[in-house]
């Protein structure tokens, strides 16, 4: 197994850059190249890597699978790399996956493989004047991984449409800045920069809230009505169909990782620190992994809210009849939504 940590910011990402920084994707059964972003939202993948679960399930089918891991920041870079064939499997929030599902119907036919878990994302601010969305002004700056298109921005757009009307759903795009979570976290904690707010995710939001100057404005769970999938894994119809054994090994590895995490959360926390080479204190990571708001499950939850609302707002051209329209059939057996 090889592991490359090439961190791209959304602002720097382009198709050429992504292709140059990443090795060619797997072209034959027995190879898989996977990319993830940063944060504990990718714990299932960390456990898969730590325990070599893809290789284990490949061997059960008589297949010696070569696995390549990459780390990228930003949904746009993920999507470009997948379409360019530089990666086989990518990960991002539900909205970026839906955007690609929408764009590639009748072509690459991109669909989701599995959820990586349900967890809240918090909109945080160190501006004491900002208590609600209505308190933001043109002088404020909100850091997000992928301004206008990523999970955080699309979630904010849905709430903005609810509060200000559909015609104004992009109201906060103009004050949003694309910045990787680690950099946004450092900026918010330090203060003194133009970035005074951050639509964050675990573990970063926990770090930020340790600072007495930082407070929560909104949770994604407030917007979506309860526990909801944060990140998903997705790929093309071609990879799914042409690599059935590799795909099965990968899906089975994800399912086993979920079981491992739920059976021993302290051990999963140690795996996160080990794989991510994280400097976070173990007790903080354990606290996050054991947070009752978080469910590390491969079963999608409340993803259809995005499909429905983004279609209503005109972001998605195609209307999904249900969540099963944009997930491959291997995921259909669970009680998804």
Quick: pLDDT tens for 228-270: 999 999 999 999 999 999 999 999 999 999 999 999 999 999 9
Q: Check if the beta carbon of residue 305 is closer than 8 Å to that of residue 225.
A: yes
Output the DSSP codes for 244-270.
HHHHHHHHHHHHHHHHHHHH-HHHHHH
3-state secondary structure of 152: helix
Element (H, E) at 91: strand 90-93
Give the Cα separation of 293 and 285 in Å (integer).
Answer: 14
Quick: pLDDT tens for 136-176: 999 999 999 889 988 999 999 999 999 999 999 999 999 99
Specify the pairing of strand 215-219 against strand 122-125: antiparallel
Place of tokens 């996956």: 97
Task: Please state whether the peptide bond connecting residue 203 to the residue before it is cis, i.e. omega within 30 degrees of 0.
Answer: yes
Q: What is the pTM of this model?
A: 0.87
Query: Between 11 and 157, where is the model more confident?
Result: 157
List the domain boundaries for the chain.
Answer: 30-118+227-329, 125-222
Which CATH class for the 30-118+227-329 domain?
alpha beta
3-state secondary structure of 28: coil
């Amino acid at each position: 197994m090889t592991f490359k940590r090439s961190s791209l910011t959304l602002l720097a990402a382009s198709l050429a850059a992504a292709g140059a920084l990443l090795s060619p994707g797997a072209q034959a059964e027995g190879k898989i190249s996977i990319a993830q972003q940063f944060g504990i939202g990718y714990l299932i993948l960390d456990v898969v890597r730590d325990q070599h679960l893809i290789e284990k399930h490949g061997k059960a089918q008589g297949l010696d699978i070569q696995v390549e891991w990459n780390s990228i920041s930003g949904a746009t870079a993920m999507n470009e790399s997948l379409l360019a064939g530089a990666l086989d499997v990518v990960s991002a929030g539900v909205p970026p996956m839906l955007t690609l599902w929408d764009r590639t119907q009748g072509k690459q036919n991109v669909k989701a493989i599995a959820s990586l878990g349900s967890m809240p994302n918090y909109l945080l601010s160190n501006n004491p004047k900002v208590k609600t969305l209505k308190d933001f002004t043109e002088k404020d700056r909100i850091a997000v991984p992928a301004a206008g298109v990523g999970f955080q921005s699309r979630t904010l757009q849905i709430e903005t449409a609810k509060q200000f009307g559909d015609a104004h759903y992009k109201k906060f795009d103009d004050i949003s800045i694309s910045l990787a979570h680690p950099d946004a976290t450092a900026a918010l904690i330090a203060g003194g920069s133009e970035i005074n707010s951050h639509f964050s995710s675990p573990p970063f939001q926990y770090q930020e809230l340790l600072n007495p100057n930082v407070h929560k404005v909104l949770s994604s769970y407030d917007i979506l009505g309860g526990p909801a999938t944060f990140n998903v894994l997705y790929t093309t119809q071609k990879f799914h169909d042409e690599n059935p054994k590799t795909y099965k090994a990968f899906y089975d590895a994800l399912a086993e990782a979920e079981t491992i995490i739920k059976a021993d959360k302290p051990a999963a926390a140690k795996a996160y620190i080990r794989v991510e080479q994280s400097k976070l204190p173990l007790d903080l990571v354990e606290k996050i992994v054991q947070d009752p708001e978080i469910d590390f499950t491969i079963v999608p939850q409340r993803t259809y809210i995005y499909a429905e609302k983004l279609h209503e707002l005109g972001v998605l051209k195609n209307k999904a009849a249900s969540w099963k329209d944009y997930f491959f059939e291997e995921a259909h057996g669970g009680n998804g939504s």
